[in-house]
Structure 1
């Protein structure tokens, strides 16, 4: 049986196709497109026309790929960029009419659950952990251990949303930096309380920015061939400091930093730094498995 998951993120649309043989899933096709659906979304809370059209075109391309593979089941999930937009339902309707893809707009709780399911499959959870998935529109946090999901919450502090609201200087000056940190602190009050209670030992970064961090730290790592890896805390801190204090032009020249993340990686670094420092976490891991893998897992027969 062939199954497929489409993840409509605020920045990037992902398609992954797998073949199920017994209990095992074998990935047979994987791609992503930097759609930037959330471009300028914080201004009027709308998917702007150019982003709307990019999204539909991408889904038409995904549908052509799905048809080539004769998929038995496909599930397309839309997250913060669609669910927070006043014309999000219009986008869902257009996707169905123009690309033949039915989209399920999932809430923050469902998103966090799928992320947890994906990360669990990676084998990254080996102790009391805080999973963090930095999206464009939202960031999900999950407290868990090897046995169970303990607590989960989605916050509207994704990298694109933070960037559009606060990224006013280049390089980021101290005033703007403090505004971002104050906003993060105000948003994450509940997370602080739960972390004080459960004392997670490890921060597990779910794909996205954390893949960029590890590729910049260890360029030889075969990111497509691993499900999890340790990230050196001193090396991460050194890299984050470099990214936060560099200009857009300087970051553009850095190896293994894709154009889509040239500015958003600064927001991701500030957010990650805050979590590590405020909650006393001394260990970081990457899980390359994220929401997409969680959705695929849910489709297995």
Structure 2
């Protein structure tokens, strides 16, 4: 079961065995709630919901989480705690780059802990990359080579491994919101602005791990799954219609180019599955994706609607 970002989910009755588990991933751009339980190696998903609150708006430039961004995010956390309670679950919450960058992080972490009834765990970049990788690797059950890209609002993680064995990972200080705020001043963006984002992304990736070309890059998170919904021209976001789908590099690049030529409002009309709250930053996110595929020598993008929240749902 999944829901369009921002839409309230229809709860099901609390599990009498109390086996439902809830994880909240508080990102720079969106807040995600996963409620699920394990049956052996199979994960049953009750709810996978995303709401864009843009907690990290402006934080890369100012070093401060804005009061209005904190208030929006706390309101969603209250809603998520109530939803989790209807499944008999107490949520575990983690947060990432947007809060890592903030000098006033306690202004968010303290009230968030009060709302949720437990502290919010601030992940390091290394932990974020490892968890993103594990979210895919633990499901595959093979020792095949795997490269996992997680594009967030404030950072982008690139991890390399074989099956469940993580070989290397880097958390890069680039993200869809971060580069949009830094480089884009027009709607639609000027070609020079898009070029500047791609150059910054490529140079940042190249300062990380040197990689031999590999044909497949597995992508996670909102930019990638939204790209898949746009490429498939879905009328609304549908997890089942994007998960495990693959797209050649040229289609991803052409989508970025087409999206960059129209305004945010026009993008929503052309691609109805694009959340209006993501429409302004999607070109920056797609440009990071294009740069990552170039850096990895990837010919194909494999899309997974997963993420670190899946790795944090521990087996019972």
Q: Structure 2-normalised TM-score? A: 0.85
Which SS does the other structure have where 2:159 is aligned? Answer: strand
Alpha-carbon separation, structure 2, partners of 1:165 and 1:135: 15
- Which of residues 215, 218, 231 in structure 1 aligns to 2:229? 215
**Maintained 8 Å contact 2:138/2:164:** no
| Farther off after superposition, 199-208 or 117-126 | 117-126
Equivalence for 2:114: 97
Residue by residue, what CA displacement relative to the aligned partner does 1:192-234 show, whole Å, maximum 9, x if unpaired?
A: x5213xx322111113111111111213598423642212333
Residue by residue, what CA displacement relative to the aligned partner does 1:28-70 show, whole Å, maximum 9, x if unpaired?
A: 1232211110122233211101111111111111111222221
Residue by residue, what CA displacement relative to the aligned partner does 1:83-142 show, whole Å, maximum 9, x if unpaired?
A: 211111231111122442421000011111110111224539885343111100111001
Which SS does the other structure have where 1:260 is aligned? Answer: coil
Equivalence for 2:9: none
Superposed displacement of residue 278, structure 1 = 4.1
Equivalence for 2:28: 10
Alpha-carbon separation, structure 2, partners of 1:142 and 1:171: 32
| Distance change >3 Å, CA 219–CA 182, structure 1 → 2 | closer
| Distance change >3 Å, CA 162–CA 26, structure 1 → 2 | same
Equivalence for 2:308: 291
RMSD: 2.3
How many aligned positions are there?
295
- Which of residues 41, 45, 63 in structure 2 aligns to 1:45? 63
Equivalence for 2:280: 263
Equivalence for 2:172: 155
Superposed displacement of residue 286, structure 1 = 0.3
The answer for unaligned runs of 5 or more in structure 2 is 1-18
Equivalence for 2:104: 87
Alpha-carbon separation, structure 2, partners of 1:126 and 1:132: 18
| Farther off after superposition, 227-236 or 11-20 | 227-236
Alpha-carbon separation, structure 2, partners of 1:218 and 1:51: 32
**Maintained 8 Å contact 1:79/1:107:** yes
Equivalence for 2:217: 203
Equivalence for 1:246: 262
**Maintained 8 Å contact 1:228/1:285:** yes
Alpha-carbon separation, structure 1, partners of 2:118 and 2:86: 15
Q: Which has the higher helix share?
A: 1
